[in-house]
Amino acid sequence: MSKFAKFALLATSIVGLTVGFGTNVALLGQGGTVSVSIVDFAFNPKTITVPVGTTVRWTNNGSAPHTVTSTSSPKAFDSGTLNPGESFEFTFKTAGQFPYRCAIHPSMTGMVIVEQKEEVQEFALIHSLAQSKIFPEVITVSKGIKVRLFNTALDGVHPSVTISSDEDGKNPVFGVKPFAVNVGQLTTVEFTPDKAGTFFISHRPHGHNIIGKLVVKE
């Protein structure tokens, strides 16, 4: 295995994720279906926390009829009567707290907490002084969505990497201050691009530039 391949593998391992080389990555857990069991005159679990876009399925596993009835105002959902073995589903499209109860047995209560999960675009960058390159040389992101860069160095020392509108790194953008990248260390940089265009991730050692491109699309 080449030295570059080893450092690329190291960067990915430290991040602990399969990071995108030009791919948008949303936080895990968004959407999908979560189950709640109705048994022994209780909702189990009584309280759940889910991301926006999640479908909750209630199933009557008991021996008596029940309902899943929202108590918020305005009422968000109402299953009607669920006989033993029947299910009801509802997809939560907005964030908030959604209390509910069984209309037949009002002492049975539950809560769905819906959170707005943040979308993040993640990339692993390898900096090489000897090769005068940043790998990958071009990353493409979307305007208005947070970017998280995981930086490490293949060789050399990179004390002042900048994200700027010019190749010389004289006009930083997106509120990112110059940062250092060292061999064997992981430097994480986060920002949210607020305008589209082509920008530069650069380091100017010994009078020449190591340059990567950051393309921000609308």
Instruction: Name which of 1-10, 79-88, 153-162, 176-185 the model is least confident about.
Output: 1-10
Q: What mean pLDDT is predicted for residues 10-34?
A: 46
Same domain assignment for residues 151 and 162? yes
pLDDT band for position 158 (50/70/90)? Answer: confident
Same domain assignment for residues 37 and 23? no
Same domain assignment for residues 197 and 143? yes
Q: What is the pLDDT of residue 29?
A: 40
Same domain assignment for residues 212 and 179? yes
Q: What is the CATH number of the domain that holds 39?
A: 2.60.40.420
Same domain assignment for residues 111 and 142? no
Same domain assignment for residues 23 and 49? no
Q: What is the pLDDT of residue 50?
A: 93
Domain count of the chain?
2
Q: What is the pLDDT of residue 82?
A: 98
- The residue from 68, 92, 115 where one domain ends is 115
Residue 136, pLDDT > 80, answer yes
Look at the block and give the residue holding tokens 């299953």. Answer: 79
Who wins on pLDDT, 29 or 101?
A: 101
Count CB neighbours of 163 within 10 A: 25
Same domain assignment for residues 149 and 90? no
Same domain assignment for residues 143 and 208? yes
Q: What is the pLDDT of residue 8?
A: 46
Residue 15, pLDDT > 90, answer no
Who wins on pLDDT, 39 or 117?
A: 39
Q: What mean pLDDT is predicted for residues 29-49?
A: 89
- The residue from 86, 115, 144 where one domain ends is 115
Same domain assignment for residues 72 and 175? no
Residue 1, pLDDT > 90, answer no
- Structure tokens belonging to residue 80: 């009607």
Q: How many CA atoms lie within 13 A of 127 on its CB side?
A: 31
pLDDT band for position 203 (50/70/90)? Answer: confident
What helix, strand, coil percent values describe the chain, rounded to 5?
Answer: 5, 50, 45
- What's the whole-model pTM score? 0.54
Q: What mean pLDDT is predicted for residues 52-78?
A: 96
- The residue from 81, 115, 149 where one domain ends is 115
Same domain assignment for residues 99 and 135? no
Residues 48 and 51: their CA atoms lie apart, in Å, by: 10
When the pLDDT of each residue in the chain is averaged and rounded to a whole number, the result is 86
Q: What is the pLDDT of residue 97?
A: 96
Is the separation of the CB atoms in 87 and 125 below 8 Å? Answer: no
Same domain assignment for residues 21 and 129? yes
Same domain assignment for residues 111 and 123? no
- Structure tokens belonging to residue 118: 């943040």
Q: At 200, which amino acid appears?
A: F
∠177-182-187 over CA atoms, to 5°? 50
DSSP string, 122-184: EEEEEEETTTTEEESSEEEEETTSEEEEEEEEEES-EEEEEEESSTTS-SB-TTPPPEEE-BT
Q: What is the pLDDT of residues 163-190, one digit of tens each?
A: 999 988 889 999 999 999 999 899 999 9
CA distances from 66 to 36, 37, 38, 57, 214 (A): 13, 11, 8, 14, 55
Residues 73 and 97: their CA atoms lie apart, in Å, by: 11
Domain of 199, in residue numbers: 3-27+118-217
